Structure 1
């Protein structure tokens, strides 16, 4: 009887401890970690839509270089609820700003065609300032990416397309916009699919480790796809839907036998 009791107790402990904190907690070891990726800037790609505003001390002089309605004054992030249809939420921005065509260029007022794909936003600012200096005195150029979007799939509370009005979006931002991973989402082996100028890469990320903030995948690029794999515990639970009931029964029987033997 004692052997049976020991086996039952071991069985119960194995199931009750299957969800280790080490597999769930984010950024473990963060006290000794430093983020060295503050200089990150996204690279402009084809199909990006840019808001470009030109200002000078002589306000009227800058009018010919600004598209009407090209400035976006909305918040940093659109509501992710019903995010599967979030592309519809961006319809107000679909005809504003400058669309980077398949040649990587935009048509800028007065100046003409400018190649911007493959450059950072700061590099395009410098380029525009040089070209505008011919027409304006001390021009100020502000550039914002209007249609930054990523797709997050798998074991998250709200999968779908997430659209941001920000030039710097992190993996944690995307996870937050998806209302976090479920308890079964595998945090140690997240797949990030990145497509840059037609070249796709497949990258694995462990967000339970604090040093992941220094990886090249902490900041997201336009059109990144994030896939959250399910942990084995969920697969097992799907294959054996009454597992929780079984564990509860075994635990009850173990406790009952322990009380009987103790008497």
Structure 2
């Protein structure tokens, strides 16, 4: 009889555990096998106030590029003639900070307004100004966003602010980095809050639908906030009632099976 009691206890614990972690949603459930879905391979992040940009200028004659790469520190020239700058003070704050007015203070060229521009547009702006001033005939500018970050809150495995290498990350990748959605997540109420100019906009997504590919938030922008809404208490109670009924039915079935087997 003791063995039967222990067995029943284990069965009940297992049933409760499986019900508590049950997820009743499927990502992108309306996608069709073999159907093609377009994407933007040229997506670029939009520069905004608070960004820190890593900018390097190079050319065939590396000595001409040196003045554009000195950011209060030293510079190095590699075997390919590329010039890179380093901060002599040892500060971790590398790159050019985009101030509250949307400007960066760039060597030789002075203040440049870059707020609201894509990375490639900033690249073209610097190259064109260098050529227009006859400093360098064929400059090559490379730009990286050094402090790209986003925040994920709500019904996910791990809330927090995250950073990524580069500036290209999708909403689905951001959720995966935050530990995936929990069983209490409302998959049709995944919100992205985005700063645009002097305003904030809110975009709501249903991750069960392929329509997410057409969202302006499929690729996150700097400082985006992702909020996964949890199920309301009423919904939780309904789910809990369903789970209890399921457990009881399973328990009754198990007890009947045991009683029949012990006869």
Shorter chain as denominator, the TM-score bin is 0.7 to 0.9
**More moved, 163-172 vs 101-110:** 163-172
Q: How many corresponding residue pairs?
A: 226
Instruction: Identify the residue that residue 75 of structure 1 maps to in structure 2.
Output: none
Q: Any idea what the Cα deviations from partners look like across 1:130-174, whole Å, max 9, x if unmatched?
A: 111221131110011111111100111111001123122211221
Quick check: 1:224 aligned with 2:202?
no
Q: Which has the higher contact order (CA 8 A, sep 6+)?
A: 1
- Structure 1 residues 69 and 52, CA, compared in 2 at 3 Å: closer, same or farther? farther
Instruction: Identify the residue that residue 44 of structure 1 maps to in structure 2.
Output: 47
- Please, what TM-score do these two structures have when normalized by structure 1? 0.73
Instruction: Identify the residue that residue 148 of structure 1 maps to in structure 2.
Output: 148
| 3-state secondary structure, aligned to 2:230 | coil
Which whole-Å CA distance do the structure 2 matches of 1:219 and 1:130 have between them? 29
| 3-state secondary structure, aligned to 2:137 | coil
| 3-state secondary structure, aligned to 1:167 | coil
| 3-state secondary structure, aligned to 2:153 | strand
Which whole-Å CA distance do the structure 2 matches of 1:178 and 1:70 have between them? 38
Match runs of 1:118-133 below 5 Å: 118-133=116-131
Which whole-Å CA distance do the structure 1 matches of 2:57 and 2:64 have between them? 10
RMSD of aligned alpha carbons: 3.5
Instruction: Identify the residue that residue 29 of structure 1 maps to in structure 2.
Output: 31
**More moved, 48-57 vs 210-219:** 210-219
- Please, what TM-score do these two structures have when normalized by structure 2? 0.73
- Structure 1 residues 27 and 238, CA, compared in 2 at 3 Å: closer, same or farther? closer
8 Å Cα contact 2:27-2:208 kept in structure 1: yes
Instruction: Identify the residue that residue 87 of structure 1 maps to in structure 2.
Output: none
Structure 1: runs of 5+ lacking an equivalent: 1-15, 72-91
Match runs of 1:116-195 below 5 Å: 116-133=114-131, 134-195=134-195
Which whole-Å CA distance do the structure 2 matches of 1:161 and 1:93 have between them? 22
Q: Rg: which structure is higher?
A: 2
The CA deviation at 1:221 is 1.2
